[in-house]
Amino acid sequence: MKKFYRVLTVAIGAVLLSTMLSGCGSGADAGKRIVRIGHNQATDHPTHIALLEFETYVESKLGDKYNIEVYPSELLGSQTDMVQLTQTGAIDFCVASNSILETFSDNYTLFNMPYLFASSQAYHSAMDDPNITDPIFESTKKAGFEAVTWIDAGTRNFYTVSTPIYSPADLKGLKIRVQQSPTNVEMMRLLGGSATPMGFGEVYTALQSKIIDGAENNEMALTSNGHGDVCKYYSYDMHQMIPDILIGNCAFLDDMPAEERAIFEEGFLLVNQVEREEWTKAVEAAKEKAANDQGVEFIYLDTAPFQEICAPMHENVLGQYPDLRPFYEKIQEYNQLYPVEAAEGGLEE
Ligand code: GCU
């Protein structure tokens, strides 16, 4: 299956390359610049819905010049592959998890810290603050790409096939899939589980064949990616709020006339807004579907023991990357403004 997938990816790559060499479409699209955007979610996911809005918006304004094409479901490869394709300009944009970007620039380590944000209001406000995000988003320009907006990906929690997690002790001896980022591997090590880094597209099969005992993600992974067919316990330890990031190729963005760039910028804003609205609805629907159709039990637990174990990571990361401290401090201001929240249905009462 994996081999078939690779062959498929190579074949798609070859087709892409042949049309890309001309850079333009054919037939009705002749003369238009084809803009390719890749992501790894299914077509029912808020990210895909938001990117289709981007396509509609940009084409409504600049449809004579650009043909926007959105490729879902890792059709253009894994997130790591897509970031590399965006870097070189083989594609123009892709959505990558902040975790994956950590392997391209240390600056992204900031948003991967466990328990960085006290609440989703603090998270949203910090990510909306250009004083925090701009320096980080622009820091990869020399590497050929820059972040053009962030995308909400909710809160990450542990979920397991057959062993419910109530406390960190329950993770002991369990193989848990994490994203391929040093911060996530370290977090898992501290919490006592056995970190198994792999790409998102491989997780379902790994769960099904019991190569791993569980994973960690937002609720959408249960339904949109089918992980809830295999994993029956979802435990709200709320360890990370990791944004997804829409990145673009710098040469493409910089070569664009200013009036066209302005339309694209409006489109990026739209991606952020539409996805955020869709996200709230999608998570609610996912929880309902997971509980009612897939038989997933949602566990609301005391997050404090998880938080205490992870706490030293903040100073460790800041010690390693001192330039990140001012942004970290700014995030703390938002945390004070919008303090702690529990998962809905959780331990507040
Ligand atoms: C979320 C996130 C993706 C990421 C995935 C993962 O779905 O939105 O960008 O790839 O988690 O765990 O790999």
Indicate if 323 and 207 belong to the same structural domain. yes
Mutate to test the pocket of ligand 1, among 217, 218, 276 (most ligand atoms within 8 A of CB): 217
In a domain, 344, yes or no: no
Structure tokens at 262: 């302005």
- CA-216 nearest atom, ligand 1: 12
Q: What percent of the chain has pLDDT over 70?
A: 90
How many angstroms separate the Cα of 304 from the Cα of each of 179, 308, 340? 23, 6, 11
Indicate if 89 and 13 belong to the same structural domain. yes
Buried b (16+ CB within 10 A) or exposed e, 104-115: bebbbbbbbbbb
Indicate if 259 and 308 belong to the same structural domain. no
Q: Report the pLDDT averaged over residues 324-334.
A: 98
Per-residue pLDDT band at 25 (split at 50, 70, 90): low
In a domain, 247, yes or no: yes
Mean residue pLDDT of the chain comes to: 93
- CA-151 nearest atom, ligand 1: 8
What pLDDT score does 27 carry?
73
Tell me which residue range forms the domain holding 15. 2-153+242-283
pLDDT at 18 over 50: no
Indicate if 167 and 247 belong to the same structural domain. no
Structural domain tally of the chain? 2
In a domain, 196, yes or no: yes
Ligand 1 binding pocket includes 112 (Cβ within 6 Å): no
Indicate if 148 and 135 belong to the same structural domain. yes
pLDDT at 343 over 80: no
Indicate if 76 and 47 belong to the same structural domain. yes
pLDDT in tens, 169-204: 999 999 999 999 999 999 999 999 999 999 999 999
Indicate if 163 and 149 belong to the same structural domain. no
pLDDT at 26 over 80: no
Ligand 1 binding pocket includes 225 (Cβ within 6 Å): no
In a domain, 346, yes or no: no
Ligand 1 binding pocket includes 217 (Cβ within 6 Å): yes
Indicate if 35 and 145 belong to the same structural domain. yes
- CA-39 nearest atom, ligand 1: 9
Pairing label, strands 156-160, 66-71: unpaired
In a domain, 136, yes or no: yes
Q: Ligand 1 centroid vs 200 CA: distance in angstroms? A: 6
In a domain, 230, yes or no: yes
Indicate if 234 and 260 belong to the same structural domain. no
- Only one residue has tokens 């569980």, namely 214
Indicate if 101 and 220 belong to the same structural domain. no
Beta bridge partners of 159: 215, 234
How many angstroms separate the Cα of 63 from the Cα of each of 207, 263, 307? 43, 11, 49
DSSP letters spanning 284-343: HHHHHHHHHTS-PEEEE---HHHHHHHTHHHHHHHHH-GGGHHHHHHHHHHHHHS-----
pLDDT at 314 over 90: yes
The answer to whether 176 touches 193, Cβ cutoff 8 Å, is yes
pLDDT at 7 over 70: no
pLDDT in tens, 191-246: 999 999 999 999 999 999 999 999 999 999 999 999 999 999 999 999 999 999 99
Indicate if 55 and 119 belong to the same structural domain. yes
The answer to whether 250 touches 145, Cβ cutoff 8 Å, is yes
Q: Give the CATH number for residue 61.
A: 3.40.190.170
Q: Report the pLDDT averaged over residues 99-125.
A: 97
What pLDDT score does 21 carry?
38
Q: Ligand 1 centroid vs 36 CA: distance in angstroms? A: 20
Indicate if 197 and 274 belong to the same structural domain. no
Structure tokens at 238: 């709320």
DSSP letters spanning 184-245: HHHHHHHHTSEEEE--GGGHHHHHHTTSSSEEEE-THHHHTT-GGGT--EEEEEEEE---EE
The answer to whether 317 touches 113, Cβ cutoff 8 Å, is yes
Per-residue pLDDT band at 342 (split at 50, 70, 90): low
The answer to whether 171 touches 192, Cβ cutoff 8 Å, is yes
The number of CA neighbours under 13 Å toward the Cβ of 186 is: 15
In a domain, 348, yes or no: no
In a domain, 265, yes or no: yes
